[in-house]
Amino acid sequence: MGTADHRTGGHDARHTREDTEPPALRRDDWERPSSPSRAEVAADHIADRIARTQPGTRLGTKDDLRAECGVSAGTFNEALRLLQTRGLVTVRPGPGGGLFAAQPPPARRLDAWAQALDEQHPDEALRIRDALDPLLVEDALWHASPADIAELRRHLAALAEAADAPDPVAFAHADRLLRTRLAALSPSSLLRSLYGGLLTVVELAEPVATPETLRARHDRHAALIDALDTRDRDRALRLAGSPVGTSDTGGAAAG
């Protein structure tokens, strides 16, 4: 009887452990944290400083900025890697060195090319911009942090307000700002410069849009940001390359 009770107790205990065992982790649980890491927070803090300074400005030494961010040396090195990947900082060794706000690449030839499109074939700027979207989305899938996604959603709110108005001019402006923020996630300075020049031309040459078109374009941006947030590569690239008026399999309008 004592042996039977011992086995029964073991059996019950095993079932108790099985009943209380936590569910298996989903891919998103181990592949991507639910909140920004300390390195991402430090990188965003420095990125905010860079946004308020002139290109080439000295930000300070590594030790100065690490102390300002309040992180360990290893965490700061990871934050620095994130900033360099996004093309926001340069590091100069030696006396007087340190971290500097990155200088934009020479854009004289790109500006001349964009001006030619503006004067002769502005519709070409729109076509080329759309062709570059998948490249930017691919980079964003690799490099976007939770803080970056939150910033994209703030721009999306301005886009929704313009679509509800409806105000095509305000929508075109908000659309450019959102795309500029998306382009900032790419580590390619050439791609960022090329895309930025196209955005200026496209905003000036944006055709008159109906309220329905504005809403469809907003919904496409919203679905794209959701796909970036969940790292759904197939859906994100499908949305980036979808023509106006089509629908994503998830039900969101694309355009």
Three-class DSSP labels, 17-68: HHHHCCCCCCHHHHHCCCCCCHHHHHHHHHHHHHHCCCCCCEEECHHHHHHH
Query: Rounded to whole angstroms, how far apart are CA atoms 22 and 17?
Result: 10
Say whether pLDDT at 237 is over 90.
Answer: yes
**Can you spell out the DSSP letters for 77-98?**
HHHHHHHHHTT-EEEE-STT-E
User: What pLDDT is recorded for position 3?
Assistant: 46
Cα distances (angstroms) measured from residue 254 to each of 28, 67, 218, 220, 237: 25, 45, 8, 4, 12
32-53 pLDDT, tens digit each = 444 568 888 888 888 888 878 8
* Element spanning 101, H or E: strand 98-101
Which of 33-47, 163-177, 196-210 is the least confident region?
Answer: 196-210
Report the share of the chain in percent with pLDDT over 90: 24
Average of per-residue pLDDT across 160-166: 90
Cross-strand pairs, 91: 99
pLDDT-derived band at 25, boundaries 50, 70, 90: very low
User: What pLDDT is recorded for position 137?
Assistant: 94
Residue count of the chain: 255
Mean of per-residue pLDDT scores for the chain: 76
Say whether pLDDT at 161 is over 80.
Answer: yes
Say whether pLDDT at 91 is over 80.
Answer: yes
Query: Taking the CA atoms of the chain, what radius of gyration do you get in angstroms?
Result: 24
Higher pLDDT, 32 or 180: 180
